[in-house]
Structure 1
């Protein structure tokens, strides 16, 4: 097993974020690495996954576990059942550790379907021996009428089973858009009981699934409203996904666009309520934030998080003390060209901004960040150019 490639490690405080340090790289050198994702294993240890594509164009999911809150990482594990995973930073693969010790890796592949040349297929593979071996990959949808599935998310339900949402071509309405589907696992039998949640969802932006500490299941996605408006919508279920509340916009941006934004919403929850971040170009441009203190009945007025109008791809997490951390990527001009850097904001539990500063230097090219927690630490993991390739870089922020 190859050892982790680690660059310089520099620690700094999350409250001031004065430094722009070079992060450690978790991916192997001389590969095209992308699509990082942060989660935790069944013991609560930090786990980070990503995709690597080698020079022979072979792509696999890898993941590493840290037993000391990001100080050190174990050698990466290759998810052998993920062969053929298609690297897509909005449709990034997810690894989920169930309480019974099994692991699920879900990922997108190309469908190669004549009915839609851009169609994708969502697959998943399971391990029942702590990642040593993996079952053959299974399609999330076996219905032959379903030829396009993508932009999925997974989360654990209170009973220890996994839930998944995704965008699907199957629908009744003739209007543009996809259908948001929901399914859950049944032990080692994998996913079943799939059911539609809502139709005419924007077909090109990632979705977000969150289960709060009371067991409520939240979904957030970009909807197509009145055939032309593409705004973010929230729904909640209090019966494990059997029924969902009607869709409600988190912000009336009224963004009219006949195209694919390719940047979805993010969501976190703490004792003060729900916290959202998203990209829009309606009534302002860039990454915005709002919250709801009444479980989605009403939402605060949106707040701009970045001065860059084309800031995109926000991701959000809630720390152990309830503080909210949001990262995104934004263009930055360097000479006559543009690079991409990671923006970052730290908010109090009630949404007040404590600090805001870029995490990466203007001279680097970094994008598609994800954020997560490990104990009282916050981590930001992102894709960064390395020579002619890309690596998955990690920064650990210590309050």
Structure 2
């Protein structure tokens, strides 16, 4: 499930319910207007009579209070298959609400040919809009990343923001992550490209319309699942490095908005099954949440950082 907080104690939740069919789901939404004490009956966000597989949902609230739900949608794939036409990947769709989720707009498409099983990364953009980062299927079955700005009535054209040229006949189940900066977005992602595999960082500078401050944070096999958080110009990134005997949770820090980075340090390790790490921010700073089979749920402070100039 995904959760977002609104005004006056409102709580918004979205999730994917399994439906009949292979890799099929239906995105549902519910809300609480009393701080989570009670929730309304769940309802689907789609505006089609029948689900055609909608999954990997996100829910985001803007400073104005507008609510966005976005997801990976296979209605265009189903239509292409019915017409006997080729269609790569799936599509990215969204719906928006200006009344705290009481009603939603019609479903609108952001882009066709999104990767079909990679999670999405949205952030608020201004008072009433959001930006969303996703893995896209470019020509030649290249699965790099694209960014778009979404408003109440329309979305910008996809803007390619990573260029590892990873050709893959399938979906890696490895979505990107993003955090808003002062004049752009801090982005992290995984690539399996032969000459550029592992964990990457980049800053999308909207004034330059380019991705700058690129860093290949970890090129080792097994490195992936990155997360990024920003607080007062400080940037934290965590990721997993999965080995033959144990998984390692790694962290780097930048005190200058991604221009220079600390030496990667291990936060924790685990020999059992592990979940994806998450970065959480509050008034006191940044915390790392990690759930593992052997150790359970842990909330960890980032390690002390030593800095190196790139």
> TM-score, length-normalised on structure 2?
0.87
1:162 alignment counterpart: 67
Given candidates 300, 314, 331, the residue that maps to 2:242 is: 331
2:255 aligned partner? 348
Provide, for residues 241-293 of structure 1, a one-character-per-residue CA deviation record: whole Å limited to 9, x for no partner: 42322212212111111122101011112225321100001231111111122
Go from structure 1 to structure 2 and tell me whether the alpha carbon gap of 1:272 and 1:104 turns closer, same or farther (over 3 Å shift). Answer: closer
Matches within 5 A, 1:99-138: 99-112=7-20, 116-138=21-43
- Is the alpha carbon distance of 1:349 and 1:218 closer, same or farther for their aligned partners in structure 2, counting shifts above 3 Å? farther
Kept in 1, the 8 Å contact 2:203–2:211? The answer is yes
Tell me the equivalent position of 2:94.
182
Determine the structure 2 residue equivalent to 1:302.
214
Residue 358 of structure 1: aligned partner = 266
Q: TM-score, normalised by structure 1?
A: 0.68
Task: Tell me if structure 2 keeps the 8 A contact 1:145–1:170.
Answer: no
Q: Is the 8 A contact 2:94 2:107 kept in 1?
A: yes
* 1:132-160 C-alpha deviation (Å, 9 max, x unpaired): 11222111214124320111112112321
C-alpha spacing 1:224/1:315, structure 2 compared with 1 (3 Å): same
Matched, 1:263 2:171: no
Higher relative contact order (CA 8 A, sep 6+): 1
| Distance in structure 2 (CA, Å) of the matches to 1:345 and 1:272 | 22
- Paired position in structure 2 for 1:234: 147
Deviation by residue 1:99-119 (Cα, 9 ceiling, x = unmatched): 13221111122112xxx3220
Alpha-carbon distance between aligned partners in 1 of 2:211 and 2:291, rounded to the nearest angstrom? 32
- 2:198·2:216 contact (CA, 8 Å) conserved in 1? yes
> 2:42, 2:207 → 1: CA distance?
37
Provide the C-alpha distance between the structure 2 equivalents of 1:264 and 1:192, rounded to a whole number of angstroms: 26
Q: Secondary structure of 2:4's match?
A: strand
Shift of 1:163: 0.7
Q: How does 1:1-399 map to 2 (within 5 A)?
A: 93-112=1-20, 116-171=21-76, 174-187=86-99, 188-213=101-126, 215-237=128-150, 240-271=151-182, 273-282=184-193, 283-294=195-206, 297-300=209-212, 302-319=214-231, 321-333=232-244, 338-351=245-258, 352-361=260-269, 363=271, 365-386=273-294, 391-397=296-302
Aligned 8 A contact 1:289 1:304 in 2: yes
How many pairs were matched up?
294
Q: 2 CA distance for matches of 1:205 and 1:398? A: 29
In structure 2, C-alpha distance between the alignment counterparts of 1:127 and 1:141, rounded to whole Å: 20
